[in-house]
Chain A
Amino acid sequence: MASAVSALGWGVALILLPLTGAVLAFVLRPLATRVGVGTALATTLATGGLALALVETGSGRYPIGGWEAPLGIALAADGLSLLMLAMTAAVGLAVSLYVPGYFRDKPRASADFWPLWLFLWAGLNGLYLSADLFNLYVTLELIGLAAVALAALAGSADALAGAMRYLLVSLVGSLFYLLGVALLYHAYGSLDIAILAEQVAASPPVWAALGLITAGLLLKTALFPLHFWLPPAHASAAAPVSALLSALVVKGSFYLLLRLWLTLFGAEAGGLGTLLGLLGAGAVLWGSLQALRQTRLKLLIAYSTVAQLGYLFLAFPLATGLAWGAAVYLALAHALAKAAMFLAAGNILMFGGHDRIADLDRVAQRLPLSVAAFALAGVSIMGLPPSGGFVGKWLLLQEAIAQGAWGWAAVLVLGGLLAAAYVFRVIGYAFTQAEVPQEPHAVPATLGWIAFLLALGAVLLGLVAPQPLALLGIGAPLGEIGTAP
């Protein structure tokens, strides 16, 4: 037990480090970039430390201040939270290294970016480590407020309106969640997930809480048809912010839904899992079709996020260990690939001054690394082997066929074809000459490399599939179900 507590010492560091960094970056504005990059490196190292400790000791629980639940508030970490933390660290570090180059002519935007991003990182880490329903509400709000402020940073009328809509949606989602938590607390007198998991039984308050919490989190995860706020907010933000929002922020609320579903609601949900699957299928088809229709690159990528989020919900009707593992794997692969796509789009935007797909003007020859990053990320988004996206979809497909659920299998295949159509549409225009020649601007080589390495990570994730799936088996809730294919 003592070693499990020391493992979670890394968890405490994972929350305190970015929080301290955020305050320092806010106070020491001229040094914000240095503070920010330093904090990003330290937080990534701490994530590694937690990973090593957890592999050694298994899942851990840390009572803050020595007070155990139900009186105190505990932190907890298992394989599922570890993978989400690692995803946050990988994308977070890449974006943190990308930002100094991207904002090199905009010191004000850069100084505004760092405190918000580090607050967001602290909120995400807090979310993945919390074992208390109300603590989770607070981290959800921290994430929402920081994400909205980041989205508004771009300052254009579109970005401000997008951020405003995002804020209202995020707040309403949180209140739905809070109302559900209030009902659960009334029924069982505890907010600790582990304690609740032992007591929850099918009863009207639990059904109401299930409905309210699921609705709130679906709104925040932008599942079709509640996705209306996502494309404008994600597409009009600055490129590194878009990458953070699409890769990490929506995954936070998805993770929470997944965890509550696995620990509290799974047995009580009944037909709701099928409904989530149907909405997920709707998201895959509608998001992909909308992505095909877009004329702006960043909007295309944002609609692609709507579609890719849909896949994650196909696991809910299948509801086996393998399906849950596949959904988590898809979330990881999507985080890397989508961050790479948005960063590549940022480079293209910086290069040509616009992101109109039809006027990309031979950008493949002139910005080869960024277009390669986009194409490689596209491989994972389409789900071609050997990428991480392929492994996730393959496991889902295998499970759907094993259960004879041909409808879900058809959605998986059709979604992949549509994704191929919109990725190749962009790549096609990247090779052709535009009618109006444009004045290009220099893009630092590091920006291209960072996008490329992220995309490469998304593809290589497919080759190391057994390791992350084994990590998922650390501790409850997925450890008991078994995720090994």
Chain B
Amino acid sequence: MTAALWYALAGVGLFALGLYAMAVHRHLLRKILAFNVMGAGAFLVLAGLARRAPEGSADPVPHALVITGIVVTVAATALALVLMLRVREATGAAALPEDRPD
């Protein structure tokens, strides 16, 4: 087990946890947080696997990718939060129609 593999496994674990939370939680804020956990998992896999050669220096390309990915995630999270607030304004609940207890 190399360190890179540990990071990658932890990343996959986070990704799966986020996906599970996305499926089971009803509140939109929790879904948005779950998406961020999934994103962190994917980035951890990318950054962890950057250590390709055990003795060599880290590969910079995945780091650049992760930074770009974080920027995209921030923008997406901002849009999701605004939409969540608008949904709550329009319907009175920060949840999707199928998740509202009636």
Chain A residues proximal to chain B, CB less than 8 Å: 134, 137-138, 141, 144-145, 148-149, 152, 156-157, 160-161, 163-165, 167-168, 171-172, 175, 178-179, 182-183, 185-186, 189, 191
Q: Give which listed residue, A137, A164, A171, A179, contacts B15 with CB less than 8 A.
A: A179
Cross-chain contact A168 with B42 (CB below 8 angstroms): no
User: Which B residues, 60 to 91, have Cβ-Cβ distances below 8 Å to chain A?
Assistant: 61-62, 65, 68-69, 72, 75-76, 79-80, 83-84, 86-87, 90-91
B62 adjacent to A175 (CB under 8 Å): no
Closest Cβ of chain A to B17, distance in Å, is: 13
Known: A164-B28, A186-B49. A175 touches B39 (CB 8 A): yes
A185 near B61 with CB under 8 A, answer yes
Q: Is the CB of B87 within 8 A of A141?
A: no
Interface presence of B10 (CB below 8 A): no
Residue of A nearest to B4 (CB): A186
Which secondary structure characterizes the binding site on chain A? helix
With A167-B80, A175-B15 known to touch, is A141 a contact of B90 (CB < 8 Å)? Answer: no
A189 touches B52 (CB 8 A): yes
26 pairs from A and B in contact (CB 8 Å cutoff):
A138-B72, A141-B72, A141-B76, A144-B76, A145-B76, A148-B83, A149-B79, A152-B86, A156-B90, A157-B90, A157-B91, A164-B28, A164-B87, A164-B96, A165-B96, A167-B76, A167-B83, A168-B80, A171-B35, A171-B80, A172-B35, A175-B15, A178-B46, A179-B41, A183-B45, A191-B61
Q: Which 5 A-B pairs have the closest CB atoms?
A: A186-B49, A157-B90, A182-B46, A141-B72, A179-B42
Q: Are B72 and A163 in contact (CB-based, < 8 A)?
A: no
Contact across chains for A145 and B79 when beta carbons are under 8 A apart: yes
Query: B42 to chain A: closest CB distance in Å?
Result: 5
User: Do A168 and B22 touch (CB < 8 A)?
Assistant: yes
Q: Which residues of A contact B32 (CB under 8 A)?
A: 168
In the assembled complex, which residues on chain B have CB atoms less than 8 Å from the CB atom of A168? 22, 31-32, 35, 80
Contact A164/B90 with A175-B15, A182-B45, A182-B62 known, Cβ cut-off 8 Å = no
Selected contact of A171 from candidates B46, B59, B62, B76, CB within 8 Å: B76
Complex interface: chain B residues within 8 A of A137 (CB)? 69
DSSP majority for the B interface? Answer: helix
CB distance from A95 to the nearest CB of B (A): 22
| Cβ-defined partner of A172 (8 Å) among B8, B38, B59, B90 | B38
Given contacts A172-B38, A179-B45, contact A160 B80 (CB under 8 A): no
Chain A residue with minimal CB distance to B66?
Answer: A182
B61, B68, B76, B84: the one contacting A164 at CB < 8 Å is B84
Question: In the docked arrangement, what's the CA distance between A134 and B28, Å?
Answer: 28
In the complex, what residue of chain A is closest to B39 when comparing beta carbons? Answer: A175
Q: In the assembled complex, which residues on chain A have CB atoms less than 8 Å from the CB atom of B41? A: 179
Kindly list chain A residues whose C-beta atoms are within 8 Å of the C-beta of B52.
Answer: 186, 189
Least CB distance, A360 to chain B, in whole angstroms: 27
Residue numbers in B under 8 Å from A165 (CB-CB): 96
Known contacts being A148-B83, A160-B90, A186-B49, is A172 close to B22, with CB within 8 Å? yes
Query: Is the CB–CB distance between B65 and A134 below 8 Å?
Result: yes
CA distance A183 to B79 in the complex (A): 28
Once bound together, how far apart are the Cα atoms of A94 and B48, in whole Å?
A: 47
What would 17 more interface pairs be, CB under 8 Å, given A175-B39, A185-B62?
A: A138-B68, A138-B72, A145-B76, A156-B90, A157-B90, A163-B83, A167-B76, A167-B83, A168-B35, A168-B80, A175-B35, A175-B42, A178-B69, A179-B42, A182-B45, A185-B46, A189-B59
Contact A185 B49 (CB under 8 A): yes
Q: Which residues of the other chain, A, contact B39 by a CB distance below 8 angstroms? A: 175
Q: Which residues on A sit within 8 Å (CB–CB) of B59?
A: 189
Q: Which residues of chain B are within 8 angstroms of A175 by Cβ–Cβ distance?
A: 15, 35, 38-39, 42
B65 contact set on A, CB distance < 8 A = 134, 185
Q: Are A148 and B90 in contact (CB under 8 A)?
A: no
In the bound complex, residues from chain A placing their C-beta under 8 Å from that of B87 are 157, 160-161, 164
B18 nearest in chain A by CB position: A175
Set B42, B72, B83: member contacting A182, Cβ < 8 A: B42
A134 near B68 with CB under 8 A, answer yes
Q: Closest A residue to B65 by CB, please name it.
A: A134
Q: Which residues of A are found within 8 Å of B9, using beta-carbon distances?
A: none
Q: Are A167 and B79 in contact (CB under 8 A)?
A: yes
B66 to chain A, nearest CB (A): 9
Closest to A177 in B: B42
B86 touching A160 by the CB < 8 A rule?
A: yes
With beta carbons under 8 angstroms apart, the residue of A161, A171, A179 that contacts B97 is A161
Contact B62 A164 (CB under 8 A): no
Chain B positions 20-56 with a Cβ under 8 Å from a chain A Cβ? 22, 28, 31-32, 35, 38-39, 41-42, 45-46, 49, 52
Alpha-carbon distance between A211 and B21 when the two chains are bound, in angstroms: 21
Pairwise interchain contact B49-A182, C-beta atoms closer than 8 A:
yes
A185 to B64, CA, bound (A): 13
Most B CB within 10 A of own CB, among A144, A156, A164, A165: A164
- Return A225 CB to nearest CB of chain B, in Å: 15
Minimum Cβ distance to chain B for residue A470 (Å): 38
A204, chain B: closest CB distance, angstroms:
13
* CA gap between A163 and B96 in the complex, in Å: 10
